[in-house]
Structure 1
Amino acid sequence: MAFMIWRAMLGADFPVIGFKPLALAYLYAGIGLVGTNFVGCYMDFSNRVADGLLSEHQRWSIVPGWTIYATILLLVVVLPFLVLVGVPVMAASLKRALLTPKNIVLGTLVLWLALTSLGWVALDNAWHRTHRLESFMMWLKDLLPGILFIAVPFMLAIYRGSRIYRRCRYGPCS
């Protein structure tokens, strides 16, 4: 579906750009997702080893499986978000020549704050109602690795993969 949206949104510019930037974006985002889950699982089970709940050997028999498990679970959230939000926004930005490093940084900050606010507003429990600022800061901290290692590589891959298109658009295409 992502590739159909990409092609439809780029229209006449698609033959110059192709699928390469989008394929690279998904590859980098996937690597970032696996890496983020691995580090999270490693840290979680390191705390359990430090507390004496697990031995070092047990940690290394559990962490790879938990990494795969967490990655598969998060794909249910990450893939639809990238397809329905990431692909159209990046294609529109590319087509309108708005895909610049400055706009990637701004887009990253807006995305981080928007997802944090959405999660923060959607959560409703007694602790959340009494610790509003602490809850918001927790959301910021928890979403940061996903933003840095999934969303940013996704955007940068499209930016880097479309450099031939940008060069052709603003000068002679070589």
Structure 2
Amino acid sequence: MPRAHKRSKKATKKKKKRRAPARRTRGAAPRPMLAETRLLALARDIAHLPLPAAIDKLAAAWAPNAPLPGELAEAWTRSHGNKTAALALAYAREQVRFSLQEIVEALPSAKRDRSGAAAETLAWLMLAACEALAHEAPTAVPDRVRAILELSGDAASPS
């Protein structure tokens, strides 16, 4: 007696259709941190100032008792492990540096060429020097600001 042909279980199971992966819906953009907002405002504020006034504004923002240094330190700490927040802070700082670079590039060539550094390098150095003011004694800040201006080739006193 011939055996009846059994269908394999695999053949009787219906194939499941694969679903397309669910689309991710974007949530609301994270609120910017206070330090990021202050840096972007600072970049806008100095954009069209002459160099001595811009350095004065940066020095005031990073003065030993100013709120920005503490807010920035807290923001960097909170952004640890959060690439989006860290990138936003870096972008905001870069906007300040870029505004400063544009001011340096607008200097008359006689002043700009005294330092021998490229405008972007000079802007980076001046910004780093202004950021370091947060760690200085308040009485030393005017001398440091004068040194920053001398570094830029602008020996005029800040306003």
Normalized per residue, the structure richer in helix is 1
Shorter-chain TM-score bucket reads under 0.3
Q: Which has the higher contact order (CA 8 A, sep 6+)?
A: 1
What's the TM-score, normalizing by structure 1?
A: 0.25
Q: Larger C-alpha radius of gyration, 1 or 2?
A: 2
